[in-house]
Structure 1
Amino acid sequence: MTRPRLVLASQSPARLATLRSAGVEPEVIVSGVDESVIVSDDPVVVATELARLKCRAVAHRLKSADDTIVVGCDSVLAFDGEVLGKPSDAETAIERWRAMRGRSGVLHTGHCVRIGEREVSDDAATTVHFADLDDAEIQAYVGTGEPLHVAGAFTVDGLGGAFVERIEGDHHNVVGLSLPLLRAMLAGLGVRWTDLWR
């Protein structure tokens, strides 16, 4: 049996690494979607709509999209009634960490899977409890540049992992792609997860 073609509509190295570590080797096609086009106070709406836009943008560019699986994802952090994506600059990242330290937020990742004209989308949510960092730790972390490239200004699989005390929910979701949710979404479209293994 031929393995189905899977395209990841994301430039996130963490999402790619998550799929690879789970035995799936996707092609990567960056969507080029402007993430500022979706504005809402609802983190589920923001994450899911951006995932849909990315997935559709890539699917429409593919010539043989009828049997190609396209996966789009986007993550935001719900914290203090705000929806936080990537910080715009180091100063914003520092301000966020000063607010987040010793507290918790909910990381939402929107997922969209498309095969031809069939499409499903869903949101995964994981509660993240942040350590109580001092100002010097915040400055040092932001100084690495890592928080500037990720939703909520933190990672759990990189330098920021030491600053996340615990999570409630799917660890992979915090990295940017929920493997259990993706498996269930694919199953709903008639694709068995194990058929994607390389």
Structure 2
Amino acid sequence: MGELVSQPSDLILASGSPRRRELLTGLGVPFRALSPDIDEVSAHIHPADIARDLAEQKAWAVRAMPGTAQALILASDTLVALDGLVLGKPTDAAQNAEYMRRLSGRTHTVYSGVALFGPQGLTSAVEATAVTFRTLTESEVQHYASAGEGLDKAGGYGIQGLGMALVARIDGDYSNVVGFPLGVVIRLLRGAGVPVWGQA
């Protein structure tokens, strides 16, 4: 199995996210990145099932690309859910501000699905992290929304940027809130025979 991952092209990260690329690079695993083209629509209802389904869809989409049939393919998708309802990526600053008002002073859940095409076919898992926001003033809501940081992020905020000032508490995996749960990623990669983090 070591021979399968001996070159960078043998592991593909199915993502265009710079945050996921940075986190995977930190694990010392050689890879290349390809952006999957999916509609991000799922027939599932529960956010955890949606996150897993979308991650699997991304893996399948990259698997269908030329030159990927023999590669390991790693994909992830992250959702933010409040009261069981998914808050996607806001379309503009006004919607971003509305998300901030809804999340203010409350606890929501971040779900990340991770899927890996490996020697045994497609495997996947889901990580969940509870995040509690401070009670935000309207001026804080407007300031964050106008900054534009949250427009390309699930739930309308980025924990690794200015958004960390919104958060009072995290219960669970911080990297999951960033969008790439490293504990799950390491487990799936090692299960496929990929040496991760100094593992021989």
Look up the SS of the partner of 1:61 in the other structure.
Answer: coil
CA drift at 1:3: 4.4
Deviation of 1:144 after TM superposition, in Å, equals: 1.3
The answer on whether the counterparts of 2:15 and 2:76 sit within 8 Å (CA) in structure 1 is: yes
1:171 aligned to 2:174?
A: yes
> How far apart are 1:26 and its partner, in Å?
2.6
Corresponding position of 2:117: 114
**Unaligned regions of 5+ residues in structure 2, if any?**
none
Q: Matches of residues 1-198 of structure 1 in structure 2 within 5 Å? A: 2-3=6-7, 5-35=10-40, 37-66=41-70, 68-115=71-118, 118-194=121-197
Instruction: Kindly indicate whether the alpha-carbon contact (under 8 Å) linking 1:65 and 1:115 is maintained by their aligned counterparts in 2.
Output: no
* Deviation of 1:83 (Å): 1.4
| Amino acid corresponding to residue 177 of structure 1 in structure 2 | F
- Runs of 4+ deviating beyond 3 Å: 194-197
Amino acid at match of 1:51: A
Give the total of aligned pairs: 195
Report the CA distance between 1:99 and its aligned residue. 1.2
Compute the TM-score of the two structures, normalised by the length of structure 2: 0.89
Unaligned runs of 5+ in 1: none
| Paired residue type of 1:79 | L
Match of 1:193, SS?
Answer: coil
The amino acid across from 2:168 in the alignment is E
Residues 64, 55 of structure 1: alpha-carbon distance in 2 compared, 3 angstrom cutoff: closer
SS in 2 for 1:112: strand
Calculate percent identity across the aligned residue pairs. 36
Q: 1:171 to 1:82 in 2, by over 3 A?
A: same
Q: CA RMSD in A?
A: 2.0
Structure 2 distance, partners of 1:77, 1:39, is 17
Other structure's SS at 1:177 match: coil
The CA deviation at 1:191 is: 2.5
Deviation at 1:137, TM superposition (A): 1.0
Deviation at 1:39, TM superposition (A): 4.6
Contact 2:112 2:127 in 1 (8 A): yes
Letter in 2 for 1:162: A
Does structure 1 conserve the Cα–Cα contact (< 8 Å) formed by 2:88 and 2:155? yes
Task: Supply the distance in 2 between the matched residues of 1:61 and 1:196 (Cα, whole angstroms).
Answer: 30
**1:32-69, Cα deviation, whole Å (9 max, x unpaired):** 1111x215430011111110011111122142532x22
Q: Is the 8 A contact 2:27 2:196 kept in 1?
A: no
- Alpha-carbon offset, residue 156 of structure 1: 1.0
